[in-house]
Every structure is written in C-alpha cells, then in structure tokens.
Amino acid sequence: MSASNAKQRLADVVVGSRGWLHEQWSESYYPEDIPDEWRLGFYANEFNTLLVPWAQWNESIEALEEGLEDADDDFHLYLELPDTQQSLPKHWHVIADQVKGLVCTQGDASQWVEIAENIGVPLLVEMQNESVFIGYAPYGEASASIELAMIDGTKIDDLVLMREQIEQALQLADSRLDFIFTDTAPALDAMRNTVMIAELLGA
C-alpha cells in the first residue's frame, strides 16, 4: 500500500471463521479429548471473531452462551440471518450483549431492519464485492466503512495475494476489521497467516 493511499492509522484486523464446528478440525485443531461444549471456548482462545450460521445459533443458543463464557471482552460475535424473515430463537437474548451484528448474506435485507432496530443490534449488509473478499457495512449507510470482510480461503493460493486482499480491505475499514473465512473447512494455516500478515502491516 503506497503512503498516499494509506490511512494515518490502520484498522485492527482480527481473524475468524464462519462456524467453529468443522469436521476437519476435529482431528487437525481440537484436542482429541476435548468435550464438544468446550470447543467454542478453545476456538475463542486463539481467534477473536466468529460468524455463526443461522442453523447453528437457531438450534443451540445455550451452546453459544456456554462456549463464550471465557471469551475476551473484545471477542466479536456475528449472527448470520436466513434468506427469509423468521422469528429469532426464544432465548437468543442470553447472548445479546456479545452480538456485534446480524449479517444478511442473502435475501432482502430490508425485512430485517425493524427486528435489528428493536433489539439494538446493527444489521450488516454487503457493500463491497471484490475479487476475493466481500465487505459488509451497516444497512442504510452508503458511505460507511466496512466492519466485516468475508473471504473464501480456497481462492487464496499464496501469501502475496492474501496481503493484497488485506490491504484492499483495510482501505475500506475504519477502526476494526473482522476477517471471516467462509469456506466449508477453513484452512487453519491460512487463518494464522492472515493474522501474521496483518501484524506485519501494523494492523
């Protein structure tokens, strides 16, 4: 990133994934003897953001609540919305204080505006669609900085491309950018390399 294009201060980049219950991680990431209910806490000890698919948080709010008990205060939890409006899970309020945004990845975002306003949680929608990452910003704020960047790790084949994508996303971000890997089984090496590159960039 050239000095002319760089912001005076780069946004903080934090890395995470879409979901934490990936079958491939059972052997490659989580300790063999760790109970299922401890896996989210284990994940939150290394990564500081998480996008939870609708099916996961709709079915088990309690698992989220228990798993995040020991997460740091700056852990960001995002909840993905379904493509059609539905009632939020009955006990969802137990994690409300930790939710940083409802994310509309498909369907009509306007159907969620009233719900998001009523519960006091930002509604994030697609604002910037780049070659690899998709940037999400608060609904209705055309000039808003992106808060969330979703990236398909299978499209990243080297560190140079990853650096380019991080730099590009940072130009659209403000104080913090949550970088979410959305592939079915996110590669832990790619996630950790993203953390390393962000640190080298000073983000």
Strands (E), the chain: 12-18, 49-52, 76-80, 99-104, 123-129, 133-138, 146-151, 173-181
Segment 175-190, tens digit of pLDDT? 899 999 999 888 999 9
Residue with tokens 């992106």: 146
**In angstroms, how far is CA 135 from the centroid of its own chain?**
11
SS3 helix, strand, coil % of the chain, rounded to 5?
A: 35, 25, 40
Segment 107-132, tens digit of pLDDT? 899 999 998 998 899 999 998 777 68
Does the domain at 12-201 match CATH 3.50.50.60? Answer given as no
Residue with tokens 């979410």: 180
pLDDT for res 142 = 64
pLDDT for res 202 = 86
> Measured between alpha carbons, how far is 199 from 203 in angstroms, rounded to an integer?
6
**pLDDT, the chain, mean:** 88
pTM of the model: 0.90
